[in-house]
């Protein structure tokens, strides 16, 4: 006679394996999620979907039609975990945990909103001026540590491959982090205005809202405005 607890364990494990092997999911019964390769053994996409639905208001995903998880040339070329393009999010398929996928979906959702509603977000220049003020303070801090920034444009809010490489490779985020505390949610937020917005959006929904409000009040209020205007 099979032990009942053992039988229940076998059933649970079988169910979990079946869930991990599923290749198609939907968020809010509308946004398709397609898995194009095998996920890491600890990842459960059904749990990722469930947490996204509980975390984000449905209307914030209006600009997203599909999420693809697999291997993508643009991610590989730019050492990205994910990117948003033309209504779809493309996420690298070898991320190790559910949290990695949740963070990337939330972050790229911010970019989808930014792409569709850039004038609403940036038109009054409030976030841009806040961002550039922080950039200037970061530049001064770097100089005080003997780090040369002469050939880099800290006044351009748009993405710059040179500045991105300077932060990521020349200095390294680990070394940059202590210099960005109190200015940016993370060093990546200093990359450009778009990443400043997406980084703050991620903190708003997954981190400490009071911290975001304290260090980036204009960004915080703009996110609140976006949510309230759609309710």
pLDDT for the residue 18: 47
Domain with 180, as residue range(s), is: 120-229
Same structural domain, 111 and 124: no
pLDDT for the residue 3: 60
Place of tokens 């949740």: 102
Please report whether residue 5 resides in a domain.
no
Last residue of a domain, one of 75, 96, 116: 116
Total domains present in the chain:
2
Antiparallel, parallel or unpaired: β 66-70 and 31-35? parallel
As given in the structure block, the two tokens for residue 156 are 């351009």
pLDDT for the residue 4: 56
Same structural domain, 135 and 224: yes
- Whether the pTM exceeds 0.75: the reply is yes
pLDDT for the residue 5: 67
Please report whether residue 11 resides in a domain.
no
Same structural domain, 146 and 192: yes
Same structural domain, 64 and 128: no
Same structural domain, 97 and 131: no
Q: What angle do CA 40, 75, 84 make, to 5 degrees?
A: 100
Please report whether residue 12 resides in a domain.
no
Please report whether residue 13 resides in a domain.
no
Q: How far apart are CA 136 and CA 142, in angstroms?
A: 10
Per-residue pLDDT of the chain (231 residues; tens, 9 = 90+): 556 566 556 545 554 554 556 689 999 999 999 999 889 888 999 999 999 999 999 999 999 999 999 999 999 988 899 999 999 999 999 999 999 999 999 999 999 999 999 999 999 999 999 999 999 999 999 999 999 998 899 999 999 999 999 999 999 999 999 999 999 999 999 999 999 999 999 999 999 999 999 999 999 999 999 988 754
Q: How far apart are CA 135 and CA 50, in angstroms?
A: 37
């Amino acid at each position: 006679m099979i032990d009942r607890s053992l039988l229940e364990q076998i059933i649970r494990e079988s169910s979990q394996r079946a869930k991990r092997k599923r290749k198609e999911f939907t968020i809010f019964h509308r946004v398709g999620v397609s898995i194009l390769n095998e996920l890491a053994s600890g990842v459960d996409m059904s749990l990722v979907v469930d947490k996204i639905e509980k975390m984000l208001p449905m209307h914030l995903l209006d600009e997203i039609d599909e999420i693809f998880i697999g291997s993508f040339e643009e991610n590989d070329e730019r050492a990205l975990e994910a990117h948003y393009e033309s209504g779809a999010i493309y996420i690298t398929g070898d991320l190790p945990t559910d949290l990695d996928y949740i963070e990337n979906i939330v972050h790229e959702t911010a970019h989808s909103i930014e792409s569709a509603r850039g004038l609403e977000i940036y038109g009054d220049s409030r976030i841009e001026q806040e961002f550039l003020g922080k950039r200037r303070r970061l530049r001064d801090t770097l100089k005080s540590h003997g780090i040369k920034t002469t050939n880099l444009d800290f006044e351009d809010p748009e993405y710059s491959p040179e500045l991105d490489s300077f932060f990521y490779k020349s200095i390294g985020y680990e070394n940059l982090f202590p210099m960005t505390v109190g200015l940016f949610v993370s060093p990546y937020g200093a990359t450009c205005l778009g990443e400043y917005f997406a980084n703050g959006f991620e903190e708003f929904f997954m981190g400490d809202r009071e911290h975001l409000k304290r260090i980036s009040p204009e960004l915080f209020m703009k996110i609140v405005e976006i949510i309230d205007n759609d309710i």
